[in-house]
């Protein structure tokens, strides 16, 4: 969420909160610091968001939406062959993670440490799985009948995409050190990994 001229105070607060929560998590963030960064008073912050928890839940929902919406581009490309659309979904999801690599660890830490917030993540990703069902299932079933595709459950497909892409950024600190020791460029590695993830999923589906 980038700060732009003309944003209202509520949006400024959300931008500052996103930065703080992603960096420090829920426990480590302070509403006083968020208010200061947003350029508002502490009282003004609480005018828009009654509690720190309410503000956090808004940010959590924003991050989950950001990742799940990366699939939208593939859902809207009905004129493309199925495998091309699935490739687009994987690439778009990977690119969002590359732009905001701190999101995966943030989501995992918060879900593990605060199980009550799992509902926000589950609700959003259930919608993605339902969209996969609506957009890909019939095409995959048709491909299976023709003998060109292997059967795959939509939840399994989603989890495969999620796990392949997310893990790269979960272990990115280790990868960065490893690649630096080998004299390799991390950006080049990400470009190759993006392609590898696409091929792994496509090869799972193709006969």
Q: What is the CATH number of the domain that holds 108?
A: 1.10.357.10
Count CB neighbours of 123 within 10 A.
11
Looking at residue 1, its pLDDT comes to: 54
Range of the domain at 150: 61-205
Whether residue 130 sits in one domain with residue 198: yes
Phi, psi at 149, each rounded to 5°: -130, 155
Whether residue 100 sits in one domain with residue 42: no
Q: Higher pLDDT residue, 195 or 126?
A: 195
Looking at residue 34, which CATH number applies to its domain? 1.10.10.60
Whether residue 119 sits in one domain with residue 71: yes
99-112 average pLDDT score: 83
Looking at residue 75, its pLDDT comes to: 74
Whether residue 148 sits in one domain with residue 78: yes
Looking at residue 20, its pLDDT comes to: 94
CA dihedral sign of residues 201, 160, 140, 135: negative
**What crossing angle do the helices spanning 82-99 and 138-146 adopt, rounded to 10°?**
130
Whether residue 197 sits in one domain with residue 101: yes
Whether residue 98 sits in one domain with residue 161: yes
pTM given for the model: 0.81
Distance CA 41, CA 23 (A): 22
Whether residue 117 sits in one domain with residue 187: yes
Q: Which of 18-27, 40-49, 70-79, 146-155 bottoms out in mean pLDDT, i.e. has the lowest?
A: 70-79
Looking at residue 61, its pLDDT comes to: 83
Distance CA 200, CA 207 (A): 13
Whether residue 137 sits in one domain with residue 37: no
> Residue 2 falls within a domain, yes or no?
no
Model confidence at 67, pLDDT cuts 50, 70, 90, reads: confident
What is the token pair recorded at 148?
Answer: 């060109």
> Residue 164 falls within a domain, yes or no?
yes
179-196 average pLDDT score: 89
Whether residue 140 sits in one domain with residue 167: yes
> Residue 143 falls within a domain, yes or no?
yes
Looking at residue 194, its pLDDT comes to: 96
Whether residue 194 sits in one domain with residue 105: yes
Domains identified in the chain, total number: 2
> Residue 55 falls within a domain, yes or no?
no
Please state, for a pLDDT cut of 90, what percent of the chain lies above it. Answer: 42
Looking at residue 32, its pLDDT comes to: 96
Residue 149's SS3 state is strand
128-150 average pLDDT score: 87
133-139 average pLDDT score: 84
Looking at residue 145, its pLDDT comes to: 94
Whether residue 193 sits in one domain with residue 118: yes
Whether residue 110 sits in one domain with residue 46: no
pLDDT surpassing 50 at residue 3: no
Across the strands, what pairs with 149?
Answer: 206
Looking at residue 154, its pLDDT comes to: 86
> Residue 56 falls within a domain, yes or no?
no
Q: Higher pLDDT residue, 111 or 82?
A: 82
> Residue 24 falls within a domain, yes or no?
yes
Looking at residue 5, its pLDDT comes to: 42
DSSP state of 144: H
Q: Over the stretch 36-56, which tens digit does the pLDDT of each residue have?
A: 999 999 999 999 999 998 998
What is the token pair recorded at 153?
Answer: 């459950």
> Residue 27 falls within a domain, yes or no?
yes
> Residue 142 falls within a domain, yes or no?
yes
């Amino acid at each position: 969420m980038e700060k732009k001229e003309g944003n209202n105070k509520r949006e400024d607060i959300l931008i500052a909160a996103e930065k703080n929560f992603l960096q420090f998590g829920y426990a480590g963030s302070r509403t006083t610091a968020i208010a200061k960064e947003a350029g508002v008073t502490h009282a003004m912050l609480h005018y828009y968001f009654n509690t720190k928890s309410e503000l956090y839940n808004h940010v959590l929902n924003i991050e989950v939406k950001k990742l799940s919406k990366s699939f939208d581009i593939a859902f809207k490309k009905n004129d493309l062959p199925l495998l091309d659309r699935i490739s687009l979904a994987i690439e778009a999801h990977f690119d969002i993670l590359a732009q905001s690599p701190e999101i995966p660890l943030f989501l995992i830490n918060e879900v593990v440490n605060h199980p009550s917030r799992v509902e926000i993540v589950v609700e959003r990703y259930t919608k993605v799985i339902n969209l996969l069902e609506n957009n890909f299932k019939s095409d995959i079933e048709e491909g299976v009948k023709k003998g060109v595709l292997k059967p795959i459950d939509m939840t399994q497909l989603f989890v495969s995409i999620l796990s392949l892409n997310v893990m790269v950024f979960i272990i990115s600190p280790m990868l960065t050190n490893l690649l630096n020791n080998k004299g390799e460029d991390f950006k080049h590695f990400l470009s190759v990994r993006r392609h590898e993830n696409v091929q792994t999923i496509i090869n799972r589906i193709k006969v």
